[in-house]
Structure 1
Amino acid sequence: MLTIGDFASLGRVSVRMLRHYDSLGLLPPAAVDPHSGYRYYTAAQLGRLNRVIALKDLGLTLAQVRSILDETVDLGELRGMLRLRRAQLAAQVVADTARLSSVEARLHMIETEGQMTSQDVVLKQVPPIRVAELSAVARSYEPADIGPVLTPLYPELFRRLEEAGVNPAGPAVAWYEQAADGEGVVVHAGVGIEGATAAGDVAVVELPEITAATTIHHGPMDTADRSMQVLARWIEENDWRPDGYAREFYVEYWPEEADKGVTELQLPVRRA
């Protein structure tokens, strides 16, 4: 048999934790020396220890773990529970990473306030443009919600256009609108096309002419809020009002090096 120290080392837990498990009846030692009180374990008990730790990592209380183990959870059930927890943790990592990016973007916007001025804004008439597009719905207009929905649309759009024999003309464009049910935002990923009125199973639409306050944004789109702030200040100073969501024309797009991106933001406006 193994001493409690050796068993703890093999199981990658502390002696203190083993004593706690013993006190709860979760993992009693195989034998206890009646004179010294030393606890001894067998190698076979490592299996139960692993189950205790795995179930605890699922978020269960130790009391719940004990009741589950006493009813004997088989290996298949335990594997399924762990896979589910793994998926939950992976989803949480993705959400936390997106949230961290959003926080960093907000912080950067605060730190760079005043570096861009309303002189960087140009008011212009944007002519109509025919585009092929795919769309999907995002939960909100927050960058953390928009990015994961918008980004996959472009590879699929270009794949379908290639299959249909339609050649893109001009930079890619994104635009947005409130979902019909008021829940979420419809995200459109498009690219200009010339002449074609159909493109296989891809929708072809004409973006109407707009009067827009425009500015050039440099860098990843999750930092575009600072450029939107500049547009907002210009609109306020010049007695205009926003008339919908901004269009994004990707003048230079670098999927793997977002810092090199160059995007023209076109915010539709009308007189106040």
Structure 2
Amino acid sequence: MFGIGDFARLGLVSVRMLRHYDLIGLLRPAHVDPATGYRFYQAAQLARLNRIVAIKDLGFTLEQVGAILDEKVSAEELQGMVRLRRAQLEAQISADLARLRGVEARLRAIEREGQMRTDEVVLKKVAPLRVAVLSGRAASYESDDIGPVLTPLYRRLVERLEETGVAIVGPGCAYYVQADDGSVLAHAGLEVAVPTGDGYDVVDLPAIEQAAAIIHRGSMDHVGPTMQALAHWIEENGYRAVGLAREVSLHCPDDHDEWVTELQWEVSR
């Protein structure tokens, strides 16, 4: 048998917690020395301790934990409960991280309000472009909604082009169409020379006679300040934006902080 300190270390809990579990009858010691009052536990009791902690971490009260254990929850049922809770926690963490990225991006935009990069905007003509395309719908034009749609589309498009032996002859080009309900149809495009596709569309994007363009460096999660600088330039120079900006991937290594993307926004007077 193990003393309460050793058993606590084995079970990755505190001695105080074990004493509380004993007090409420959730996990009694296997033996209590009548002379000293020292508690001793058997290794077999680690199974019950593991279940107590796992069920408590699912959000149940200790009273509910006891009731569940008294109903003899099987190991398979408990594993299923824990896996479900893990999936819920992972989804929550992912959502929280997305919100954090949004807060950081908004903070950067506020910090740069007095130093907009409008001097980096150029007015240019964009040549027509033939792209292989896969498309998906995003809830909005925000980066947190666009990224999870575009990333798997590009991954599948590259795989499909490799399977069909079609060469990518130029940079990627993402473009968007706004729907009346606020959602956005996002198109992940890669420049190709073939006229038709197998498992993807081939689209001939028309030339843009006048596009306001600016280079964005870094992850597209942080594109907000660059896009806002572009919007300021368009307005300050008497132009009107047409549609939504294209995003041309000039350099996109594994490290997203090293990405180089040109934003091209069609404009008119």
TM-score by length of 2: 0.87
**1:5-44 maps to which residues of 2 (within 5 A)?**
5-33=5-33, 37-44=37-44
**1:165-180 maps to which residues of 2 (within 5 A)?**
165-179=165-179
Contact between 1:137 and 1:179, CA under 8 Å: does it hold in 2? Answer: no
Q: CA deviation at 1:136?
A: 1.5
Q: Residues 159-205 of structure 1: CA distance to partner in whole angstroms, max 9, x if unpaired? A: 3223334333321100112346x2632221102233x3212221012
**CA pair 24-229 structure 1, distance change in 2 beyond 3 A:** same
Q: Residues 218-237 of structure 1: CA distance to partner in whole angstroms, max 9, x if unpaired? A: 22212211111111111221
Which residue of structure 2 lines up, in the alignment, with residue 201 of structure 1? 199
5+ residue gaps in structure 1?
Answer: none
Q: CA deviation at 1:239?
A: 2.8
SS of equivalent to 2:170? strand
Which residue of structure 2 lines up, in the alignment, with residue 214 of structure 1? 213
**1:154-169 maps to which residues of 2 (within 5 A)?**
154-169=154-169
For 2:13 and 2:163, locate their aligned partners in 1 and report how far apart those are by CA, in whole Å: 57
Q: Residues 236-259 of structure 1: CA distance to partner in whole angstroms, max 9, x if unpaired? A: 2123333222110112222x1323
Which residue of structure 2 lines up, in the alignment, with residue 237 of structure 1? 236
Which residue of structure 2 lines up, in the alignment, with residue 68 of structure 1? 68
**CA pair 136-20 structure 1, distance change in 2 beyond 3 A:** same
For 2:125 and 2:99, locate their aligned partners in 1 and report how far apart those are by CA, in whole Å: 36
Matched, 1:228 2:227: yes
Q: CA deviation at 1:124?
A: 3.1
TM-score by length of 1: 0.86
Q: Residues 118-171 of structure 1: CA distance to partner in whole angstroms, max 9, x if unpaired? A: 222223343432221011222332222222221222232133223334333321
SS of equivalent to 1:60? coil
Range with bigger deviation, 121-130 or 211-220: 121-130
Which residue of structure 2 lines up, in the alignment, with residue 143 of structure 1? 143
SS of equivalent to 1:27? coil
For 1:48 and 1:206, locate their aligned partners in 2 and report how far apart those are by CA, in whole Å: 64
Number of residues paired by the alignment? 268
For 2:36 and 2:259, locate their aligned partners in 1 and report how far apart those are by CA, in whole Å: 71
5+ residue gaps in structure 2?
Answer: none
